[in-house]
Amino acid sequence: MDGKPKTGSGLLFDGIKENLVLGPGVYSPRYDSRMLSSAIERYAFGKMLDMGTGTGIQGIVAAKKGCSVTFADKNPDAVACARLNAKRNGVHGRFVVSDLFSNVRDEFNTIAFDPPYLRTFLVPERMQDCALHGGGLHGREIIDRFLAGYADHVLDDYLVLLVEPPWAGWKRDASKLDAKVVEKKHYSLLGTFVILMFGSSA
């Protein structure tokens, strides 16, 4: 060991998770967050957008790697929480309340998103229910809106890292987007989650 954290090992995630505060209704990082963090540790570069930031954990990992980060979430409490956590972890960034790209004016080298992925008919009325709900019958509604919007917010050299749950049809997306599966984990009660990576630098 040379004393440096191993990249892509999840060690950055584990260390930062210890030092996070949670807000009411802000997503507490779990298995899906850890998978995305591992991919960010390995691949994120340049200007990075942490979409659906929650506690800010993904953007903090990216900033620790040298990325300049914009933290965005639809939930204002999550954005406030990410701001606080960035400060606690010695990280600077820009903080935006935005329904997907509605309030994002910039272009990025890396966009990472762990969307609300549960299958549900309910359109969440309360902001704190947006962390997991709102994905529609197939858990895809936010994913589809994200895929329809990201291309206007990327630089020439870019990659997108996207969490997809077992029920969202990730094999179809992987083929359509020419994406690599850079993380894949099977959870016995849920099925197989993946991180898709696609883009000109993927």
Ligand X SMILES: C[S@@+](CC[C@H](N)C(=O)[O-])C[C@H]1O[C@@H](n2cnc3c(N)ncnc32)[C@H](O)[C@@H]1O
Query: Please, are residues 37 and 185 in contact by the beta-carbon 8 Å criterion?
Result: no
What whole-number distance in Å separates Cα of residue 99 and Cα of residue 101?
6
Instruction: Please report the beta strands in 137-179, taking only residues with DSSP state E, as ranges in sequence order.
Output: 154-164
Identity of the residue, 66 or 76, whose beta carbon is nearer to ligand X in the bound complex: 76
d(CA 18, CA 6): 18
Which of residues 126 and 175 has its CB atom nearest to ligand X in the complex? 126
Q: Does 53 bind ligand X (CB under 6 A)?
A: yes
**Closer to ligand X at the Cβ: 28 or 200?**
28
Which residues 1-30 are close enough to bind ligand X by CB under 6 A?
Answer: 27, 29
Binding mask 136-165 toward ligand X (x if CB under 6 A, else -) reads ------x-----------------------
Question: In the window 61-100, what residues touch ligand X (CB under 6 A)?
Answer: 73-75, 78, 99-100
Helix (H) or strand (E) holding 1: none
| Single-letter residue type at 74 | K
- In whole angstroms, how large is the CA radius of gyration of the chain? 15
Which residues make up the interface to ligand X (CB under 6 A)? Answer: 27, 29, 33, 36, 52-54, 57-58, 73-75, 78, 99-100, 114, 116, 130-131, 134, 142
